[in-house]
Amino acid sequence: MLDRDEIEAIFAKLCELMNGDDRDAFVELFHEDCSFMNSALSEPVKGKENLRAVARHWPNVTNRPEWMVIDGNRLCFGWNERQEGMPATAPSYRGFSTYVFDENGLVTEYEGIFDMLAVAAAMGRPG
């Protein structure tokens, strides 16, 4: 099992890469057999290369973690996010995500939960 300092260091790197535009580097922190699910998907994305294909279409964001909890090799965190191109007057939106790490520090499971209507409203689009 990873210790807390190791998980926090991996999480810091994930956050740095999520706020950048190098999706390939972000996905390199994932296990070959990873699973990814979020509120915009109807079923999980399975496997690192499938995640890479999906991640290439993610918008550039500024994602600020607001809190986190670590339990074993699972890290849960709440975040506040703004997508590039959002109207300046639009509020950011919040969500909750989890990462599960293997013994080598690679992400095996990643899940993001957020309100799709809030994202649409923040982007000035109808829900």
In a domain, 127, yes or no: no
- Beta pairing, strands 30-38 & 107-114: parallel
In a domain, 113, yes or no: yes
- pLDDT confidence of residue 86: 79
**Chain-wide mean pLDDT for the chain?**
91
In a domain, 82, yes or no: yes
- pLDDT confidence of residue 121: 66
Prediction pTM value:
0.89
In a domain, 109, yes or no: yes
Q: What is the mean pLDDT of residues 41-48?
A: 96
Domain total of the chain: 1
Residue span of the structural domain in which 17 resides: 4-122
The C-alpha angle with vertex 16 and arms to 25 and 12, in degrees rounded to 5, equals: 105
Domain of 65, CATH number, reads: 3.10.450.50
In a domain, 20, yes or no: yes
Q: How far apart are CA 88 and CA 85, in angstroms?
A: 8
In a domain, 48, yes or no: yes
Q: What is the DSSP string of 49-91?
A: HHHHHHHTTPPPEEEEEEEEEEETTEEEEEEEEEETT--TTS-
What are the CA-CA distances from residue 99 to residues 37, 66, 79, 82, 110 (Å)?
Answer: 11, 15, 13, 21, 5
- pLDDT confidence of residue 105: 98
Residue 66 binned pLDDT confidence (cut-offs 50, 70, 90) = very high
Residue 59 binned pLDDT confidence (cut-offs 50, 70, 90) = confident
Residue 81 binned pLDDT confidence (cut-offs 50, 70, 90) = confident
